[in-house]
Structure 1
């Protein structure tokens, strides 16, 4: 269900599914949950599911951080109570990972161009604090904040965000650090 909360375009379907569930038909909620986890109708999971790909990246490439065991913030609890209940304090995301685990973050490379880090102020999945942290550890990064909801800022209908990223991708012109895009 988490994916349904990430994308504003899915919200109307989620509302309808919740209304049907209150009337005793939870089939749409079950379908959304299956879509969220990558489960097929026969109960199997595809070989290249997100979980199978995400685990090695998370555990082999990134060291443990304070974010691994954080609970939803009071803002998330207030603004997104359903998500807060779906995202309780997490345990070790790499429990059961049999491979080696990185213990330090290696972000010392000097990129040839700035790295644009963009995030929504009201993202229920990746907090703006997490986005700020990423920008703080990446050398030559440029933070772009968008006053928007949902998960994913670029290509979501905010002209300021689209222009900032588009100018970088097309012309190599990075936005100024801490660019703030107003709500639209």
Structure 2
């Protein structure tokens, strides 16, 4: 085996070792800095943690109350909220992407379900709607967003159309070979 003795825990801690004792909740270590107000200042009451409901008497802030944040005029005023206008997505951009994806899915399902016709119909419409949506978005970018969706529909439409044409040419080539094989067998 080995010449080393087995590991055993030390029976006595090393000299000068003091285990850490965490202070109890609320206790402060004697050398810890504290957050106390400087001498001679008036205490500031904390701001209410929730909005005060209107009552029968008007609520006025105390004259010595400080603002909850530096630079804000009163603890009872709320900063104005700014709403950013976000233009909606162009509906034809979404339509273009859906048609392009439908055309690609139709091509992928062609060997199983023979739905190349779906891809042949969806892909040109995806190209047309994608181009139209991109043109309208670029003409007025404040009115609509979704140029990426329109571009995606345009690209998937082109891919679907090219693959559909190649698929149809492959089907016609296979059918032509089959007809040629049958005619040579008969002749």
Q: Compute the TM-score of the two structures, normalised by the length of structure 1.
A: 0.20
Q: Compute the TM-score of the two structures, normalised by the length of structure 2.
A: 0.19
Q: Rg larger in 1 or in 2?
A: 2
